[in-house]
Amino acid sequence: MQYPNNADVLHERSVAFNKRGMYARGFQLLDSAVHIDPASHLGYRGWIKLHMLRDYKGALRDFLRQDALTADHVDYPMSENIHFLKAICYDKLGDHETALTCFDTARTSSMDGFVDYKIDLYKAIVLFQNNRETNAAAIFRQVLEQYPKCSEAYYYLARIYKHSNRKDEAATCASLARAYYLQGYKLKNAYNEMPYEIYLEDINLLNCQITSTQVSTNGNADRN
């Protein structure tokens, strides 16, 4: 009430509403902040649209407009590279090749030593989902060099090894995925589901599939 035209105050007031899922009120405030100072608040609004509303078209519009307004530097809405966020939007909208290009831009535009491991992880997941498993596997291994307890990388490597009939490696990776997941090494957010998030049920199902395949193979070998 004291600062009705202060964009930062409007932004901060919107946070509690958006975190509680009260988006009508939250966006009423946030849209006002963007109207007053778009360069400072578009990125955050896009981040909320992406992660909390799954409004990929709206989020991408905000990110592209933010980029145009701040062409002299790379923006980091909620501490995430804006090209990385655009990549997620493009992928979810079905433009996988542009998504892959944006993941690459996010990586090259990040400061040395400050590259978010999720950039490579998400790129590898997109490659996997588009049947480019060899390329995906190589990047998942790179992710594990940077983040050795990444349950998602182990999970997808297990799926790749299972598809290529490398059952022992698949079983090892699936077991590690489950162990690290249970230790809390997983994509998570207290307020929303993460893009490409996996669940314990996914890992358990994969473990069962690998185990049943191994049992079936060993049983056939014994009968022979």
Is 217's pLDDT higher than 70?
no
99-132 pLDDT, tens per residue? 999 999 999 999 877 889 999 999 999 999 999 9
Residues 17-28: tens digit of each pLDDT: 999 999 999 999
Query: pLDDT-derived band of residue 224, with 50, 70 and 90 as boundaries?
Result: very low
Phi/psi-derived region of residue 196, left when phi > 0, alpha when psi is between -120 and 50, beta in every other case: left
Q: What is the model's pLDDT at position 165?
A: 93
* pLDDT tens digits, one per residue of 37-51: 999 999 999 999 999
How much is the pLDDT for 220?
Answer: 53
pLDDT tens for 187-214 read: 999 888 999 999 999 999 999 999 886 6
Mean pLDDT throughout 168-173? 96
Q: In this model, does residue 166 exceed pLDDT 50? A: yes
User: Maximum distance among all alpha carbons in the chain?
Assistant: 83
End-to-end CA separation in angstroms for the chain? 81
Query: pTM value?
Result: 0.91
What is d(CA 45, CA 149) in angstroms, rounded to the nearest whole number? 32
What pLDDT, on a 0 to 100 scale, did the predictor assign at position 1? 75
What pLDDT is recorded for position 20? 93
Average pLDDT over residues 74-91: 96
